[in-house]
Structure 1
């Protein structure tokens, strides 16, 4: 399984981009043209923004700015275009509160206020403005649907998963969009809510729809397969990623982890050892992962020994209890008893109880090193063991 911390690193929620300039320009043109008698239609048509959603199912409203608010809307857009976000928000609030403003005026004001709040790092206010802009349902498809998408993204960012997913579903239903970068947002949200089986087809659709899918999309799909228990598919994704990025250490480590989950220890070891021989294992956890793979594979005791001794000699592995214990066991099962005893002697003082001392006493006894065996048994009793009689039996040897 993928750890929660890894999920958060791998799967940080995508931040919405601000509404496109074309959308703002279209609304601004309406504000300007509403002040020009007889020129409303011509002014609006000439400034019509590019249609971003040609497959939209939402019926676009025919709303326009009121004549009374035209001047205020022009000032609002002027402030926004100068990146004066404090002034943008102030002017937008005035329009929202004005009795003479119609619903379209208020929708546009909320739209611009959301952008200002977002740029001022006020995500909570941005969401409120976006909610009002969407609820008023007066913007053209470009503005309305982008507002809906941004609202969903901000909700997901704030872990409001139910609300964010509901708005994403509404967005896809109304926009007809199949843009891969937007599908990934939904796939990611489903993954974060542990709906792994639902996330898989959405992520696959995003990857298939993209001419250049990002590697982190494939990593997310791999993780979804893994969490859904589809280990074979997860391995295939990991292999594909590693093949595309042979020099990417992270991709190789992910592949090794997937092989381990699939209980393909030989393959996992081969990947990790290739990294070791090229000097790419630079962290303690990586050395521990490799010697653990060998420790869980038959007849690989000498490989465990080689990896641990290398890690200790280069200072990457810390000489802790688990390291010495694995080293002792590997020496013991490869019939290198003196080395095993030395490793157990290093491990025993670091143990939380006396069981390791007791094991050391037994081995020393089997090697006829009786005085040392008795001392190890006394040390075992001093640290505490489950069955003191076993230690006393060695201590009382004649």
Structure 2
């Protein structure tokens, strides 16, 4: 099964249905012919009273989930050398169901294929079973076999349906035949007034694989024309624009939805915040996220506070960044936010608080910039006149390649009697 696109777009699961037991005995009312264009003559459904009795009981047991009790009855019928063609095919069909329920997939497929090969079931049951066989082959990733089964089904029934197109599209997608999947899923969607959501997911995934974002956008825009307030479609269109690196269009779609009161979930506020940030609009990002938090829509947890600190920092709103990082610090499992907080406090000339934050960062551990943390801690100590403490921190920083040069320069200046010049914020 394909998984490369499934972190953004989920695949559908094929629903597998079995024929009912009603085909065992003749009915007073003739069944509706589901395959009027079939090339196959409809055989007579006929079995002996004993065959009918055993297989009817087996069918009831299977339908009740008692496969272990049904199996001996099915095997008894199949062991009869005089079993009639219809009873034989029906028993094989029932055996396929039992094996499928028992997760004996290859045996289930073999039994189902045998029931079809016997060519004795009535058309409705025969062709329905053929369609089910294709579904089984898809679920067991026998995709070429499934396509062959579908081709036979189409040829012998002359029947087309949205579900059939969708099944073929599903197979093409799994075979990495994305253009064929696109074409088939478009046929499926257009063949019904109520397309399955999973069909659209496969269609979008196939378009993404071929970088056909403009085409994907057109499809969703057409759907939005019919359902303008469908937030799922709005978010899907925004996602398409993001994948096409069209951030302004994605922002326009979501911000419009927000102005219309359609953005009501935390994940939507977060998505719009990140879009603003990626589009180099940190002030808008910060305003949007603060609004979500203030309204209680976005939880004031570590992730949202960390994100708010980041976008406020990018927007050069230091008080906002410090406040957000301070909240995130209390929720953090490592020291990285405390390093960022210490950095912001240092350049806000709040040395004592910066020192406390950096020491807390070191204590919590897990730092991505541990060497830089010691460098900055040494700078704070140096400006406070604590030369010994500054030298100790810089010496520790020497052990980290990314901070070694900075620490060595500071140690050299300090040993020569010079004073460290206060650096500007980067």
- Whether the TM-score (by the shorter chain) exceeds 0.5 is yes
- Describe how 1:1-398 pairs up with structure 2 within 5 A: 2-4=5-7, 6-8=9-11, 11-16=12-17, 18=19, 24=23, 28=26, 50=33, 52=35, 54=37, 56=39, 60=40, 69-72=47-50, 75=53, 85=63, 93-111=75-93, 117=98, 124=104, 127=109, 129-139=111-121, 141-157=123-139, 161=143, 163-192=145-174, 194-208=176-190, 210-214=191-195, 216=197, 217-298=199-280, 300-351=281-332, 353-382=334-363, 383=365, 384=367, 385-387=370-372, 388-397=374-383, 398=385
Alignment partners' CA distance in 2, 1:5 and 1:165: 27
Alignment partners' CA distance in 2, 1:320 and 1:75: 65
RMSD across aligned C-alpha pairs, in angstroms?
3.9
Displacement of 1:184 after TM fit? 0.8
CA change 1:211–1:375 in 2 (3 A) is closer
Mark the runs of 5 or more structure 2 residues left unpaired by the alignment: 386-426
CA change 1:113–1:355 in 2 (3 A) is closer
Displacement of 1:157 after TM fit? 3.9
Alignment partners' CA distance in 2, 1:173 and 1:288: 51
Which region of structure 1 is more displaced relative to structure 2, 82-91 or 153-162? 82-91
Displacement of 1:241 after TM fit? 2.2
Preserved contact between residue 14 and residue 185 of structure 1 (Cα < 8 Å): no
Alignment partners' CA distance in 2, 1:246 and 1:391: 55
SS at match of 2:241: helix
Q: Give a deviation string over 1:229-266, Cα, whole Å, max 9, x none.
A: 22222222222222222232222222221122122222
Alignment partners' CA distance in 1, 2:180 and 2:327: 50
Alignment partners' CA distance in 1, 2:240 and 2:335: 36
SS at match of 2:371: coil
Preserved contact between residue 9 and residue 205 of structure 2 (Cα < 8 Å): no
Preserved contact between residue 59 and residue 94 of structure 2 (Cα < 8 Å): no
Alignment partners' CA distance in 1, 2:307 and 2:354: 21
Q: How many residues align?
A: 369
CA change 1:242–1:90 in 2 (3 A) is farther
Preserved contact between residue 357 and residue 379 of structure 1 (Cα < 8 Å): yes
TM-score calculated relative to the size of structure 2: 0.71
CA change 1:65–1:391 in 2 (3 A) is same
SS at match of 2:48: helix
Preserved contact between residue 378 and residue 395 of structure 1 (Cα < 8 Å): no
Displacement of 1:149 after TM fit? 0.7
SS at match of 1:177: coil
Displacement of 1:19 after TM fit? 6.1
Alignment partners' CA distance in 1, 2:72 and 2:26: 17
Mark the runs of 5 or more structure 1 residues left unpaired by the alignment: 33-45
TM-score calculated relative to the size of structure 1: 0.75
Q: Give a deviation string over 1:243-301, Cα, whole Å, max 9, x none.
A: 22223222222222112212222232233234434544444322221211111112x32
Alignment partners' CA distance in 1, 2:336 and 2:131: 59
Q: Give a deviation string over 1:164-209, Cα, whole Å, max 9, x none.
A: 444334433443432222111121233345543331122123234x
